[in-house]
Amino acid sequence: MDQSALSGSFKPPLDLPLTPVAGLAWLKGNRFWLLFLVIIGLLGLLIAVQSQTSGALHFLLSDASPALALLSAFIGSFWVSLRLPKGKNRLAWRWISLAFLSYFIAETIEASIVVITGFNPIPPSLADLFILLFYPCLITGLLFLPSPSLSRGARGRLIVDAGMIACAALGVSLLTIVMPLLDSTESISGIEKVIVSAYPLGDVALAATLLLLLIRATEGVLRPILLWMFIGACSLLCADAAFNIIALKNISIDSSPIVDPFTVAGEFLMGLSAWFYLIHGNEPDFAWLWLARSRKTTVRTLQRPWYQRYLLPYLPLALVVFLGLTRDLLPPSQYQLVTIFQILALFTVVMTITRQILLNAELVDAKIANEQAQQLDALKDQFITSINHELRTPLMTMQTYIELLRYQQQTLPEKTGRLVTEIGRTNDALVDLVQSILEVRRIDQKNDEFPREVVHLQHAWEQALALINPREGSIAERILRVNLQPDLAIWGESVRVQQILTNLLSNAVKYSPPRSVIEVSARTVQTEGGRRSKAGKQQMVEIQVRDYGLGIPPEQIPLLFHRFVRLPRDLASNVVGSGLGLYLCQVLTEAMGGHIWVESAGVPGQGSTFALRLPSAEAVTNQQPIGETMEAHIGW
């Protein structure tokens, strides 16, 4: 067998980090795939040993192993697409898997040609057609991958950087795309011309796609990855361009000094970026994962110190690349030593990949779990709304009968009359609860701010007073002392302000004995470090509602503002409540840019003071013209 027809030396497994990683990385790390990786590792060992003795077997194996790797990448990425929910992301992975499939077919054909003829096929061959299919599929897949947008300044810098590299590569390649087509020497046939010029064209398209993604990509981890992949694609472009020039000039490919460095650099960069993506690609999700409080292992791994996260994973790769690049410089007598290192490096690569597969599989699982959780959450919201609506009609029927009974209360025996009062009270609480649940859900759902307007406190207070349920331990039995500074105005939403006041007052009435005093006061205060004012001072309206009832034990104060929480003392008493009133007060106050708190010594008779601060309308209207505020609010 003609030894010179084969690539005489064992090439470093640069394809290995590139191809199986991209697909396999997403898989669940079950034993089957672990075994598969070990087989690839053993294959590498075999290749290394064989390379010292038989060139033919070595070549077969070194061509068969990329084919196997690509097959695994295909199965892997296809499996990923099966696991993903329907959408763009799944479509992207379908296309990527198709790309790997066509590359796999190409490699298989090439390996078969070697087995049958014993010669390394020189392009163009049938294999080239399939390799060329790889480009459009991969590009389509890449374009479908979801990517968040980049800030304007960063995008500008990127365009300049990437544009310069792209121009250089394009300049070299454009010539070679056209050149074979214009070539008048009949050294190659027409179809071959097309295939030969299609390679740089594919490279250009790939580079352009990566450039596009680079421009669209967010700041952070994805950027360097895409930049490297882009430079890699440009390098491959140069290699293919150089190959075309050499082939056309009928120079022997084996002795080409230009093609190899470009090919190696291109593959290396692509491989490195795939590797980088594998290790760091999912890190932006870290914060989310932490919130989800799941997958402790993943979080722990991501929390490792920088040298463990950045240095160690790259060591094996660096070793393999270094050995591969320097081996040709060594005399043949040293090959044995290098092979041992290569085997070691290969196994480290396999182990690192396996670790990453396990890690990424967890991330994918967690992502899917999160999507499912969100769907369930939406379903739950829908359920709450519809059940809430369904409850309202029977509730109204019941209320109607109770009101009729109440209407005729004088004609009823006293005992029955008391029972009717109790039923009415409970029914009112039920109505409140049904309304509060929907209100809470609406606030939870709607994160945007309320429309702001000038709310005159005096007016809001009068409305709130009118809305107090007269049955909640009649307000007429309390001594109400109101001391509102005149002309106080709040920057908020009137309905919400009134709702807060109603809730606080109704609480004060509920939790204080008859004939006790309830004090309501409001004044303007200056607070430090307001968001609205750059001078650091902010004008706020402070409202206090004080009762002389039971008071709240200090240790129970933190519980007050939680939803559906009722204090132990209330549960024991016959005071009716849903545990949503103060939660609503807090949410509404904070949404309007204020805060609410409670002061109480927990001593019966001294009662408690509920206080809240809301932004004053004066401060707002003085600082900026109304028109501007309106605009800011509407979001023009």
Which residue, 197 or 436, is less far from another protein as judged by CB?
Answer: 436
| Element (DSSP H or E) covering residue 524 | strand 517-528
Which residue, 256 or 469, is less far from another protein as judged by CB?
Answer: 469
Strand-pair category, 537-547 with 608-615: antiparallel
Least Å distance, CB 389 to another protein, is: 4
Alpha helical stretches, state H, 446-580: 457-467, 494-510, 568-572
Least Å distance, CB 435 to another protein, is: 8
Going by the DSSP 8-state scheme, the letter that residue 557 receives in this structure is G
Cα–Cα distances (Å) from 26 to 71, 98, 178, 313, 390, in that order, read 15, 16, 40, 17, 45
Least Å distance, CB 290 to another protein, is: 35
Which residue, 283 or 428, is less far from another protein as judged by CB?
Answer: 428
Which residue, 146 or 627, is less far from another protein as judged by CB?
Answer: 627
Which residue, 73 or 402, is less far from another protein as judged by CB?
Answer: 402
Strand-pair category, 453-456 with 489-492: antiparallel
Which residue, 32 or 383, is less far from another protein as judged by CB?
Answer: 383
Which residue, 406 or 532, is less far from another protein as judged by CB?
Answer: 406
Least Å distance, CB 454 to another protein, is: 17
Least Å distance, CB 402 to another protein, is: 9
Contact, 2 vs 119, CB < 8 A? yes
- Residues near another protein, by CB under 8 A: 388-390, 392-397, 399-401, 403-404, 407, 431, 435, 438, 442, 627
Least Å distance, CB 393 to another protein, is: 5
Q: Rounded to an integer, what distance in angstroms lies between the CA atom of residue 323 and that of residue 183?
A: 40
Which residue, 34 or 430, is less far from another protein as judged by CB?
Answer: 430
Short-list 76, 78, 74, CA closest to 103: 74
Q: Rounded to an integer, what distance in angstroms lies between the CA atom of residue 84 and that of residue 69?
A: 22
Burial environment of residue 212 by CB neighbours within 10 A (0 to 12, 13 to 18, 19 or more): middle
Which residue, 318 or 396, is less far from another protein as judged by CB?
Answer: 396
Q: Rounded to an integer, what distance in angstroms lies between the CA atom of residue 462 and that of residue 422?
A: 28
Least Å distance, CB 469 to another protein, is: 11
Q: Which residues have C-beta within 8 Å of that of residue 613, sequence separation ≥ 6?
A: 525, 527, 540, 541, 542, 543, 594, 595, 596
Least Å distance, CB 407 to another protein, is: 6
Least Å distance, CB 426 to another protein, is: 14
Least Å distance, CB 395 to another protein, is: 5
Beta strands, E only, 364-516: 453-456, 479-484, 489-492
Neighbouring-strand partners of residue 66: none
Q: Rounded to an integer, what distance in angstroms lies between the CA atom of residue 589 and that of residue 631?
A: 23
Tokens encoding 338? 């290098």
Which residue, 77 or 436, is less far from another protein as judged by CB?
Answer: 436
Which residue, 72 or 578, is less far from another protein as judged by CB?
Answer: 578
Chain centroid, CA 422 distance in Å: 52
Which residue, 435 or 556, is less far from another protein as judged by CB?
Answer: 435
Which residue, 529 or 627, is less far from another protein as judged by CB?
Answer: 627
Least Å distance, CB 388 to another protein, is: 7
Q: Rounded to an integer, what distance in angstroms lies between the CA atom of residue 440 and that of residue 385?
A: 11
Short-list 612, 283, 591, 610, CA closest to 447: 591
Question: Which DSSP string corresponds to 141-172?
Answer: HHHHS------HHHHHHHHHHHHHHHHHHHHH
Least Å distance, CB 408 to another protein, is: 8
Least Å distance, CB 498 to another protein, is: 16
Tokens encoding 232? 């890699």
Which residue, 343 or 431, is less far from another protein as judged by CB?
Answer: 431
Neighbouring-strand partners of residue 540: 525, 615
Q: Rounded to an integer, what distance in angstroms lies between the CA atom of residue 42 and that of residue 45?
A: 5
Tokens encoding 474? 């009649």
Q: Rounded to an integer, what distance in angstroms lies between the CA atom of residue 388 and that of residue 391?
A: 5
Least Å distance, CB 235 to another protein, is: 57
Cα–Cα distances (Å) from 354 to 14, 40, 76, 131, 229, in that order, read 17, 12, 13, 27, 23
